[in-house]
Amino acid sequence: MEGMAIRLHDLHKSFGATTAVAGVDLEIRDGEFFSMLGPSGSGKTTVLRLVAGFETPDRGRIELAGQEVTGLAPFERDVHTVFQDYALFPHMTVEQNVAYSLKVRRVPKAERLVRARKALAEVRLEGYGQRRPAQLSGGQRQRVALARALVGRPRVLLLDEPLGALDLKLREQMQVELKALQREVGVTFVFVTHDQEEALTMSDRIAVFDQGRIAQVGTPAEIYERPATPFVASFVGTSNLLDGETAHRIVGAPGTYNIRPEKIRVLKESAEADEPDRATATGTVADVVYLGDATRFLVDLDGGGRLTALQQNLETSAEDVAGYRGTRVRLAWHHRHAVRLPS
Amino acid sequence: MATDANAAAGRGSVRRLAGSLHRRPRLRLALLLSAPLLWLAVLYLGSLAVLFASAFWTTNSFTSQVVRVWTTDNFHELFTTPVFREVVVRSVGVALAVTALCAVLAFPVAFYTARVARPRWRPLLVVAILTPLWASYLVKVYAWRLILSQGGLADWLLAPFGLSGPGFGLPATVLTLTYLWLPYMILPIHTALAQLPANLLDASADLGARAGRTFRSVVLPMVLPSVAAGSVFTFSLSLGDYITVQIVGGKTQLIGNLVYSDIELNLPMAAALGTVPVVVIVLYLLAIRRTGALNSL
């Protein structure tokens, strides 16, 4: 099929008694920034290693650009990988590392040099070609690994938690750069991460993994606003589940509902819901956490259950926060933000 | 009561001593290193100095008594006599051949023990490689004498192919020395291969390299320093050996034999001969240092 970089069909993989991947079907479009999100042990890295060819599936099919590659060796696939710990060759210079895939393909030396330098420029590492990986910082090694994987312009670039070892500031900067780089080179990126924020900010689409299966595939907005399962609701963002009697009473229909904390307004108990399509519930503030830019309220509802509400600190400041504990409040939210989850 | 107080006072002074040592790291270091440094300086460097000095003496040709007269005659004789030159070249050649054979044999063994065998078998295999070192050197060399003797195991095994064993001589010496020093080569290579991160091999394959290319471009360069480190052992142990060659070498002469036979009759000449392996090994170490291998020892 045209326009598909990767198609996975009914993929299974076990290691001894542990099932890592239990039936994954997935299509990743050409030129997409696709994230595989899930907790550790959810099978996302195994799927990545199956696509790269480091592991062979027990069952199922892997297609790259419409061609089956299930049984092919890694060096027979037009896919390059950026490893979690970069896996740079320590005995080679940065330039030799970057030029490695070209050398293997017997690209003439002069062209190899030109392309390696260009790839280093793309990741803003001009002039570092003669250094050894050991002489670089973590962020710089990360860029070398990127340049090395991109220099041969693979059909698909696989990234295995590449930002996991960087500190927060650098990670945020690299998120922006990675996204820009992907747009620039137009290569399909498949990005494995356990960091939901990272996946939400960078991806065109996300697959959320849960216990070796895909729980939901969708755009960041779909995943966040319309989680398909309680697992997705709790793993992506903070989940706020209303169920049983409480849900029935407040929402008006039985079922399990998820409301994102930032959609809930915290009002005085005496306040009326100002708009007709709002649901409200009263309760007591069990805990207040000052987060700097926002304040998090944990509210025990009168009818049972607990909701978290997040309020921007527009007018409140740190001094006010402690006083809220134990006070009576009314929570209000728009009906459409109570998302019903399939049971 | 009194003893308690004494004990407390004793503990107190120990504590004070420990405390004052803690505040004087240089003194602490000097105390720690004085014994080994003394050992090294007096017994090792001292004897080397004596060796080197006595190489410049001579002997009374009638009594074989050492005469302490400074002369460079011994070295002059060493460089001009063809027999000596031949023996030096042969000895270095044997050491190099043993080293090369050890490297070639050790690599596949180490690859198996470090990467192919099941992880829980690996420590046992390393122990198995080391067990020959528990046996006496002489026992092993005499075992090889039996293997290589006429009608021995080597002849018997090769007979069906119409061949016979190498007998006693230079090849037997190289073979026996290779057997003796092989563990010293396997061990560093095993360690290097075991420490080679698996994802470097994955990365190489991922970037398009087949197994052969990965071996040449990634595995070999990363393990080479360890091969060089192992070769320091095999080379210097072979160069210094004089017993194996006496037992399985037939009439072969190596530097060690000459030293051994000269030591009674002409001690200064033996000393001059003895400096040759020292110099060769120093040169070898300097060459090896350029590969960075000594950092991985």
Task: Using a CB–CB cutoff of 8 Å, tell me whether A56 touches chain B.
Answer: no
Residue of B nearest to A147 (CA): B207
The pLDDT averaged over each successive group of 10 residues in chain A (343 residues) is: 82 92 93 93 92 93 92 92 92 93 93 93 90 91 92 92 85 89 91 92 94 94 90 85 80 84 86 72 90 90 87 80 85 87 77
Q: Of A228, A230, A226, A273, which Cα lies nearest the Cα of A250? A: A273
Write down the pLDDT at residue A1. Answer: 42
Domains and CATH numbers, chain B: 2-54 (no CATH), 73-296 (1.10.3720.10)
Using the predicted structure, report yes or no on whether residue B274 has a pLDDT greater than 50.
Answer: yes
Write down the pLDDT at residue B3. Answer: 58
Using the predicted structure, report yes or no on whether residue B246 has a pLDDT greater than 80.
Answer: yes
Residue from A81, A98, A150 whose CB has the most chain B CBs within 10 Å, to mutate: A81
Question: Which residues are registered as beta bridge partners of B94?
Answer: none
Percentage of the residues of chain B whose pLDDT score is greater than 70: 94
Residues B32, B34, B36: CA angle, nearest 5 degrees: 90
Q: What's the alpha-carbon Rg for chain A, to the nearest Å? A: 24
Using the predicted structure, report yes or no on whether residue B297 has a pLDDT greater than 60.
Answer: no
B245/B166: higher pLDDT: B245
Using the predicted structure, report yes or no on whether residue B259 has a pLDDT greater than 60.
Answer: yes
Contacts of B27 (CB under 8 A, 6+ apart): B21
- CA–CA gap between residue A103 and residue A111 (Å, rounded): 10
How big is chain B, counted in residues? 297
Write down the pLDDT at residue B218. Answer: 92
CATH number of A4-229: 3.40.50.300
What mean pLDDT comes out for the span B247-254? 89
Give me the residue spans of the domains in chain A. 4-229, 241-341
Q: Judge: B199–A83 Cβ closer than 8 Å, yes or no.
A: yes
| Among the partner residues A73, A85, A103, nearest to B205 by beta-carbon distance | A73
Q: Judge: A54–B207 Cβ closer than 8 Å, yes or no.
A: no
Write down the pLDDT at residue A274. Answer: 65
Q: What is the DSSP string of B12-40?
A: HHHHHHHHHHHH-HHHHHHHHHHHHHHII
Chain A: nearest CA to B13, how far in angstroms?
A: 47
Q: Judge: A83–B209 Cβ closer than 8 Å, yes or no.
A: no
Q: Of A215, A295, A283, A228, which Cα lies nearest the Cα of A256? A: A228
B25/A207: higher pLDDT: A207
Interface of B with A in 50-109 (CB under 8 A): none
Token pair belonging to A284: 């007591």
Interface of A with B in 68-97 (CB under 8 A): 73-75, 79-81, 83, 85, 87-91
Size of interface A-B (CB pairs under 8 A): 60
What mean pLDDT comes out for the span B242-268? 87
- Render pLDDT for B121-175 as a digit per residue (tens, 0 to 9): 999 999 999 999 899 999 999 999 999 988 888 888 888 888 887 888 899 999 9
**DSSP E strand boundaries for chain B:** 58-59, 66-67
Question: What kind of fold does domain A241-341 have according to CATH?
Answer: OB fold (Dihydrolipoamide Acetyltransferase, E2P) (2.40.50)
What value does the mean pLDDT of chain B take?
Answer: 87
- Render pLDDT for B162-206 as a digit per residue (tens, 0 to 9): 888 788 889 999 999 999 999 999 999 999 999 999 889 999 999
What ipTM does this complex have?
0.81
| Among the partner residues A54, A89, A148, nearest to B202 by beta-carbon distance | A54
Interface of A with B in 23-52 (CB under 8 A): 52
Task: Using a CB–CB cutoff of 8 Å, tell me whether A22 touches chain B.
Answer: no
Token pair belonging to B152: 């021995």
Q: Judge: B205–A85 Cβ closer than 8 Å, yes or no.
A: no
Token pair belonging to A288: 């207040």
- CA–CA gap between residue A231 and residue B226 (Å, rounded): 50
Q: How far is CA B177 from the centre of its chain?
A: 11
Residue of A nearest to B213 (CA): A104
List CB contacts (< 8 A) between A85 and chain B. 197, 199
Write down the pLDDT at residue B269. Answer: 87
> Angle, nearest 10°, between helix axes B25-38 and B2-23?
90
What mean pLDDT comes out for the span B211-227? 90
| Among the partner residues B199, B210, B217, nearest to A87 by beta-carbon distance | B199
- CA–CA gap between residue A77 and residue A62 (Å, rounded): 11
Residue of B nearest to A149 (CA): B207
- Render pLDDT for B57-67 as a digit per residue (tens, 0 to 9): 887 777 777 77
What mean pLDDT comes out for the span B235-245? 91
Using the predicted structure, report yes or no on whether residue B2 has a pLDDT greater than 60.
Answer: no
- CA–CA gap between residue B196 and residue B188 (Å, rounded): 12
Task: Using a CB–CB cutoff of 8 Å, tell me whether A104 touches chain B.
Answer: yes
Chain B: nearest CA to A84, how far in angstroms?
A: 10
Write down the pLDDT at residue B6. Answer: 63
Write down the pLDDT at residue A189. Answer: 95
CA distances from A287 to A300, A308, A312, A324 (A): 9, 10, 16, 8
Q: Judge: A75–B199 Cβ closer than 8 Å, yes or no.
A: no
Torsion of CA B230, B232, B236, B239, to 10 degrees: 80
